[in-house]
Amino acid sequence: MKNKVNLKKVSDVVAEVLIEEEVSHVFAISGGASLHLIHSLADNENIQYICNHNEQACAMAADGYSRVSGKTGVAVTTSGPGATNLITGICCSYYDSIPSLFITGQVSTMRMKGDTGVRQIGFQETPIVDIAEEITKYAYTIVDPEEIKYQLQKALYIARSGRPGPVLIDIPDDLQRQLVDPLKLKNFQAHAAQELPHLKNSLQDTIDSIMNSKRPILIAGWGVHLSDTEAEFLKFAESFNIPIALTWGAADLIPFDHDLYVGTFGTHGNRHANFAVQNADLIISLGSRLDTKSTGSPINTFAREARKIMVDIDINELNKFQYFDLKFDKLIHCDLRDFFNNFSKLEPTEDTSNNLEWLKQINKWKHQFISFDDTKGIATTQVNPYNFVDSISNNLKGNEQIFIDTGCSIAWFMQSLRVKDKVRVFHDFNNTAMGWALPAAIGGYYANLKHQSPIIAIVGDGSFMMTSYELATVMHHNIPIKIFIMNNQGYSMIQQTQDQWLDSNYHASSEEGGLSFPNYKKLASTYNIKYFELNSGKDFSLIDEIMNDGNPLICNVCIDKDFRVSPQVKFGKPNEDMGPLLPRDMFKENMIIEPIN
C-alpha cells in the first residue's frame, strides 16, 4: 500500500513560511479574498493575527513591528480597497528601507480580467501589483499554487537583502484554497552575495582626512540602526574623538550626555548643531542619505567648505548630488557593516586629545544660542511644548520606545528630547504620514512582548484623527500605550508655513478654516481608556503618575494654537541661518566659513 500524501492548503503553507521567518504576529483585516489566509493563521498556534480597523493601520503596524524587532513585519488584507488602503503604510516602509511583507488576497483566477481590456471582471478586482510596483522592492501575483513557497521565500529574502524595503505577494482566492504536496514545493535559494568594492584605499583616505582635519563632524543616520552597527559606529567615533551630529533617524543613537553628542541638525534641528555641521572642515556621513531636511535648500549650501565623505549602500543615493551641484570628495558604496568590519582591521588610533578645541567651540555655540532662542521661556497661557518635552525627558527610565507622529510634534521632540541610554525613538522619517504613530506603536508592542518596554505614542491632534479608530484595537487587547495628544486645535506646522508665505490665512488648517475635533475625554471614555489632561506647566506633576501607569491611557496636552517650532530654517536660507535670525553681528562673529549673506 502506497504512503498517503499529506496535502496542505496553500494558505497553510503561507503561515508556515512566516513562522520559519520568526514572525510572531500578523496585522490583518478580513475580506472575501483574505479569509483562507486568516483562517490558516488562526489554526496555527505558532503565529497570531491582530485585527486592525483599516488596512492603512495594518501596514503601519507591520512597519512598526519591523522597526522594533528588526524582523519582517507582515500585513494581510483582501483585494480591491483592502489592498489599496495599504499604500500609505507601504510608502512608510519603502522610503525608510523597512523590511516588510504585504500579502493581499486577489479575486479567483477565473474572474481576473486578463487581456480582455476591461477595467474589472471579478468583484473588487484591482491590479495591486502594478499599483505597488514603484513603492516595493518586489511585487508578484501567484499564478501556480506550487510556486507559493518559492515566491514567499524570494520576497522575504529581497525585503531584507541589500537596502531593505517592502515586498508584496498577491494570492488569488482559488489558489489559496488549493491543496499542494509540501514535498514538491520548490525552495528559493539565494545567490551568493555580490562582492563589494575594495575598501582599503577608501578607508585609508578616510583616516588621512580625519587626521588632517581640525573641525570634523560625524553624521549618523537611520542606516546605522538598519545595519545593526550601533556599537561599531560609537567605537569609530570614540577612536577619533569626532563630534556626532544626528539626523532624526539616529536621534536615539547615543545618550544626550555623551561627550561627543552634538544634537540633531537640519531645517528643524538645533541651531548650534547646524553651526557645527556648516562650519566643519570634514563631514563623514554614515547611514544617512542626506535628504533636503538635512542639507537645506539650495542643497549646494550644505557644509560647502568641508571635505565630504559619504558611505551608503545605495549607489543612486551617492550619485544624486551631481544633479544639485553638491560636490563630495569621496563616495563609498558599501554596507555599513562591511565598512566597520574592514575599518577594524586598520586598528585606528584612540587618541582622544584630538578635537578638544573644536568640541569646546561647539559647546560654546550650544550655550550661546540656547540662551538666544529661549524656547522654554516663551510665554504661553497653556502648555509650552518645549517644557513638556523637557518633563518627558526627566521621567524617562531608559528603556522606553517612543513613536512620534509628524508635524510640530516631531520637530519639538527632535529639538528638545534628552535621550537616555536604551531609549528608542521611532518616526516614519521620510514619508511622515499623519496618523502613523498609533498603529506603529501597536506593532511595536507586539514586536517585543517577551521583554516589554513602555510604549509611548506622541501624536498631534490632526495626526490623531487619521487613525484614532485604532483605539478600538488598544481597548480590545488592553495594550498599555501612553498616548500623548499634542493638542493645538489644528495643523500648526501648516499654519507656520501659512505665516511665512500666505499672510497667516489658516485655510484647511484650523477650526475656523474648516477642521473639527472631538471631546477627547468623552472619546477616551467611549473606549474605556484612562484620561489625563495637562492645561499648563502646573500639571506636569501628573507626568510621573502617567509614566508609571501600566494601563492604556490618553493624555490631552493643551497647547496654544499659535505656538510654533523655533528655530526653523526658512526655505532658501542655508541651514546655519535659522529663523528667528540671529543679529547680523552675532551671526558673522560666530561663522567660521564665509557667510552667504
**Which pLDDT value is given to residue 1?**
42
Q: Which residue has the cell 491582530?
A: 50
Q: Give, in words, the CATH class of 200-368.
A: alpha beta
| CA distances from residue 378 to 84, 416, 531 in whole angstroms, order as listed | 44, 14, 27
- Within 8 A by CB and 6+ apart from 218, the residues are 236, 237, 242, 243, 244, 245, 260, 284, 286
* CATH 3.40.50.970 in the chain, residue ranges: 8-184, 379-558
**Which pLDDT value is given to residue 191?**
80
Per-residue confidence in pLDDT tens, the chain, 597 aa = 445 578 999 999 999 999 999 999 999 999 999 999 999 999 999 999 999 999 999 999 999 999 999 999 999 999 999 999 999 999 999 999 999 999 999 999 999 999 999 999 999 999 999 999 999 999 999 999 999 999 999 999 999 999 999 999 999 999 999 999 999 999 999 886 665 556 777 888 999 999 999 999 999 999 999 999 999 999 999 999 999 999 999 999 999 999 999 999 999 999 999 999 999 999 999 999 999 999 999 999 999 999 999 999 999 999 999 999 999 999 999 999 999 998 877 655 555 568 999 999 999 999 999 888 888 888 899 999 999 999 999 999 989 999 999 999 999 999 999 999 899 999 999 999 999 999 999 999 999 887 788 999 999 999 999 999 999 999 999 999 999 999 999 999 999 999 999 999 999 999 999 999 999 999 999 999 999 999 999 999 999 999 999 999 999 999 999 999 999 999 999 999 999 999 999 999 999 999 987
Task: Read off the DSSP letter of residue 145.
Answer: G
Q: Which residue has the cell 541589500?
A: 162
Q: In what order do the strands lie in the sheet with 48-51?
A: 48-51, 25-28, 73-77, 100-106, 166-172, 138-141
Number of CB atoms found within 10 A of residue 83's CB: 29
For the chain, give the number of residues. 597
Measured in degrees and rounded to the nearest 5, phi and psi for residue 212 equal -95, 0
> pLDDT tens across 43-57, in order?
999 999 999 999 999
Helix (H, G, I), strand (E, B) or coil at 108: coil
> pLDDT tens across 99-128, in order?
999 999 999 999 999 999 999 999 999 999
Q: How far apart are CA 481 and CA 473, in angstroms?
A: 11
Grid cell in block for residue 467: 487613525
Beta-strand pair 179-180/8-9:
antiparallel
Q: How far apart are CA 176 and CA 164, in angstroms?
A: 27
Contact 14, 149 (CB under 8 A): no
3-state SS of 52-67 is: CCCHHHHHHHHHHHHH
Grid cell in block for residue 399: 528603556
Just give the CATH number of 8-184: 3.40.50.970
Q: How far apart are CA 507 and CA 515, in angstroms?
A: 9
Number of CB atoms found within 10 A of residue 589's CB: 9
CATH code matching the domain that covers 379-558, chosen among 3.40.50.970, 2.40.30.10, 1.20.1260.10, 3.90.1150.10: 3.40.50.970
